[in-house]
């Protein structure tokens, strides 16, 4: 067992921001599954939204966020995040993030749904630069211990105290050391879940392999409410390539003038769907691409920016340009084949403005949460921003309440006395593939009640099998992830069946209209 003041699950933007903000006050353990750079943060392309332009205002950013979110956002959260954005960018600059500049000012690019240029970026690989700066800062702090290769299994609560209390108080996590195969308890006065999204519940996703909703599932099992899980965001422009399955083509390509075309007729179709054309919010563009593909029986649509100056295109999108060249596509001369793919989990663990969850001692920040910022659809580049603002907010609240956060009691070690090594790994692979396929086909961009019920039926059948397997065999990362994927699939489908309207990312042919009032879908365990 290891004991620290605060345990953080996740080494992405949210987890490291919290760790850095805490480290002058207490010692912190940061756990990560696989490598420290394995989350979505390192993969972010477009940038971070903040009001920095003279002609822009907080009200504009708030309005754009609420319009994209189809009114489901909590306004006080939107205001809180938008107003804290410039300070978050300032802290990143101080940590050495080399944002692109225009003379002395930061260069601002544009993305769909934004009425102004307001996205700071590092070329087209912002996430990598942010991840590197946060890691460098965290590594340099003597109070931060970074421990990669740890797959957290479940939260430690009053049920795991040596003198059983059964309370919901959270004391840390049980985590599988991926190298030794041993499970250890990591305990602290406070725990922060910053474990990212659940994108890999879908067959096609831009998210990294580890985005299996572990934190959401752990929090749910421990007794937290989750909210708006039906709001799964699909990015309109993921590269279509038979070998490279999840390479994102940033929204900034459309922001800078890229247009979507039918690959056979060359028709620019976005104006037929929305007056904002390619700069409409993501849900609108993703549905239009899906419609074109399904209507004409296509494999992909075209995203074309080859009408712009080739030096501008290659200079503004150097990483995408190079990557596409290796695949035989010159984006300065020809269109890019693209398809929609799952991209972001808008719903998650319900938190307040201080990052507090329903359980005492448990905080959460970043993509694993539902803070009220995104509503029914996240505005582009608001997500990294949410990680910085809520990572900081959770840290501040822990520091402010330090005297009330008692040290952990003795905790029971992980019990492996009744399990053996698995003899049929094939079950994990089979179930994993099955979930991702039916979620894509039945719970995707366009839904129907019948399809959702089919998915629910399959989830019900698989749940017994997976729980039985979990109860009998020693845990592996694959098994932990499968259990969590299935749990998240269940939460998504349950939430989708609950919503009897089409709002934002939840679009169902059975209820195509918007209800007069925007109401969160809150599931209570």
Among all residues, which ones are annotated catalytic? 282
Distance CA 182, CA 503 (A): 45
For residue 210, the partner it binds in ligand SIN, ligand FAD, none, with Cβ less than 5 to 8 A by kind, is: ligand FAD
N-term to C-term CA, the chain: 29
Does 97 contact ligand FAD by CB under 6 A? Answer: no
CB of 219 to ligand SIN, least distance (A): 23
Residues of span 215-234 touching ligand FAD by CB under 6 A = none
Write down the least CB distance from residue 53 to ligand FAD, Å: 18
Distance separating alpha carbons of residues 447 and 497, to the nearest angstrom: 10
Candidates 206, 233, 357, 377; binder of ligand FAD (CB under 6 A) is 206
x/- letters, 28..47, toward ligand FAD (CB under 6 A): ---xxxx---xxxx-xxxxx
Rounded (10°) CA dihedral 493, 499, 503, 508: 60
Considering only residues 5-24, where is the footprint of ligand FAD by CB under 6 A? 9-15
Q: What is the dihedral sign for C-alpha 375, 115, 17, 399?
A: negative
Instruction: Give the one entry of ligand FAD, ligand SIN, none that residue 230 binds, where binding means its C-beta sits below a cut-off of 5 to 8 angstroms depending on kind.
Output: none
In order, the DSSP letters of 410-452 are: PBPPP--TT-B--S-THHHHHHHHHHHHHHHHHSSSSB-HHHH
Nearer of residues 128 and 402 to ligand FAD, judged by Cβ: 128
SS3 assignment, position 518: coil
Q: What is residue 200's DSSP assignment?
A: G
Q: Are 260 and 295 in contact (CB under 8 A)?
A: no
Binding partner selected for residue 151 from ligand FAD, ligand SIN, none, CB under the kind-specific 5 to 8 Å limit: ligand FAD
Would you say 50 or 252 has its CB closer to ligand SIN? 252
Q: Which of 477, 495, 411 is nearest to 209 (CA)?
A: 477
By CB under 6 A, tell whether 145 contacts ligand FAD. no
Question: Which of 65, 250 has the CB closer to ligand SIN?
Answer: 250
352: three-class secondary structure by DSSP? coil
> Which structure tokens are listed for 88?
């978050």
**Two tokens, residue 386:** 């949410």
Q: Which residue has the tokens 């005492």?
A: 360
209 vs 267 by CB, closer to ligand FAD: 209
Pick between residue 39 and residue 258 the one whose CB is nearest to ligand FAD. Answer: 39
Please report whether residue 210 would count as binding ligand FAD according to CB under 6 A: yes
Q: Under 8 Å CB-to-CB from 499, ≥6 apart: which residues?
A: 230, 506, 508, 511, 521
Q: Which of 7, 29, 152, 293 binds ligand FAD (CB under 6 A)?
A: 152
Using rule CB under 6 A, residue 112 touches ligand FAD:
no
> Could you say which residues in the range 453-512 bind ligand FAD, by CB under 6 A?
none
Based on the shown chain and the rule CB under 6 A, indicate whether residue 172 belongs to the binding site for ligand FAD. Answer: no
| Smallest distance from ligand FAD to CB 344, Å | 6
Per-residue contact flags (x/-) with ligand FAD for residues 373 to 412, judged by CB under 6 A: --------xxxx--x-------------------------
Range 181-200, binding ligand FAD (CB under 6 A) = 194-196
30, interface contact from ligand FAD, ligand SIN, none, CB < 5-8 Å by kind? none
Element (H or E) spanning 18, and its range? helix 13-22
The residue among 197, 506, 507, 125 whose CA lies nearest residue 344 is 197
- Residue 51 interacts with ligand FAD (CB under 6 A)? no
Query: 142-180 as b/e, with b when 16 or more CB fall inside 10 Å?
Result: ebbebbbbbbbbbbbbbbbbeeeeeebbbbbbbbbeeee
Binding site for ligand SIN (CB under 6 A): 45-46, 250-252, 380-381, 383
Shortest Å distance, C-beta 35 to ligand FAD? 8
Q: Which is nearer to ligand FAD, 183 or 305 (CB)?
A: 183
Q: How far apart are CA 386 and CA 309, in angstroms?
A: 34
Contact 259, 268 (CB under 8 A): yes
| Contact by Cβ (8 Å): 439, 202 | yes
**Is 281 among the residues that bind ligand FAD (CB under 6 A)?**
no
Least distance CB 206 / ligand SIN (angstroms): 8
Site for ligand FAD, rule CB under 6 A: 9-15, 31-34, 38-41, 43-48, 126-127, 150-152, 194-196, 206-207, 210, 214, 248, 344, 366-367, 381-384, 387
């Amino acid at each position: 067992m290891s004991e620290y003041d605060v345990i953080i699950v996740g080494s992405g933007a949210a987890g490291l921001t919290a760790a850095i903000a805490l480290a002058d006050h207490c010692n912190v353990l940061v756990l990560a599954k696989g490598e420290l750079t394995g989350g979505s943060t390192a993969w972010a392309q477009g940038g971070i939204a903040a009001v920095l332009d003279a002609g822009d205002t907080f009200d504009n950013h708030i309005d754009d966020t609420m319009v994209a979110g189809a009114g489901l956002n909590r306004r006080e959260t939107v205001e809180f995040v938008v107003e804290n954005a410039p300070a978050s960018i300032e802290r990143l600059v101080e940590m050495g993030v080399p944002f692109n500049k225009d003379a002395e000012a930061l260069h601002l690019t544009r993305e769909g749904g934004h009425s102004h240029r307001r996205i700071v970026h590092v070329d087209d690989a912002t996430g990598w630069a942010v991840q590197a700066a946060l890691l460098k800062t965290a590594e340099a702090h003597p109070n931060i211990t970074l421990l990669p290769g740890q797959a957290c299994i479940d939260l430690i609560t009053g049920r795991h105290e040596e003198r059983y209390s059964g309370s919901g108080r959270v004391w840390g996590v049980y985590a599988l050391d991926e190298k030794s195969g041993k499970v250890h308890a990591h305990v602290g006065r406070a725990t922060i879940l910053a474990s990212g999204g659940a994108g890999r519940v879908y067959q096609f996703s831009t998210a990294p392999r580890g985005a299996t909703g572990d934190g959401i599932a752990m929090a749910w099992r421990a007794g937290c409410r989750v909210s708006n899980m039906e709001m799964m965001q699909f990015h309109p422009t993921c590269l279509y390539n038979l070998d490279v399955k999840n390479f994102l083509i940033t929204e900034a390509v459309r922001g800078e003038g890229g247009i979507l075309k039918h690959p056979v007729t060359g028709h620019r179709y976005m104006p037929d769907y929305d007056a904002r054309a390619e700069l409409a919010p993501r849900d609108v563009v993703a549905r239009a691409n899906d419609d074109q593909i399904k209507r004409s029986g296509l494999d992909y649509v075209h995203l074309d920016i080859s009408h712009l100056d080739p030096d501008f295109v290659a200079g503004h999108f150097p990483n995408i340009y190079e990557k596409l060249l290796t695949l035989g596509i010159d984006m300065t001369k020809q269109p890019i084949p693209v398809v929609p793919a799952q991209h972001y989990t808008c719903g998650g663990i319900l938190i307040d403005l201080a990052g507090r969850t329903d359980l005492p001692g448990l905080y959460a920040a970043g993509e694993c949460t539902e803070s009220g910022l995104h509503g029914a659809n996240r505005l582009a580049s608001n997500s990294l921003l949410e990680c910085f603002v809520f990572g900081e907010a959770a840290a501040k609240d822990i520091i402010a309440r330090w005297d009330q956060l008692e040290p952990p009691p003795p905790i029971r070690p992980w019990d492996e006395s009744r399990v053996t090594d698995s003899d049929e790994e094939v079950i994990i692979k089979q179930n994993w593939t099955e979930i991702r396929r039916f979620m894509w086909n039945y719970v995707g961009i366009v839904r129907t009640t019948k399809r959702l019920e089919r998915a629910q039926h399959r989830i019900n059948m698989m749940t017994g099998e997976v729980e039985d397997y979990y109860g009998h065999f020693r845990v592996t990362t694959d098994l932990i992830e499968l259990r969590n994927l299935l749990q998240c699939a269940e939460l998504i489908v349950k939430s989708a069946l609950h919503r009897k309207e089409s709002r934002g990312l939840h679009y169902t042919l059975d209820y195509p209209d918007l209800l007069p009032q925007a109401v969160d879908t809150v599931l209570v365990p």
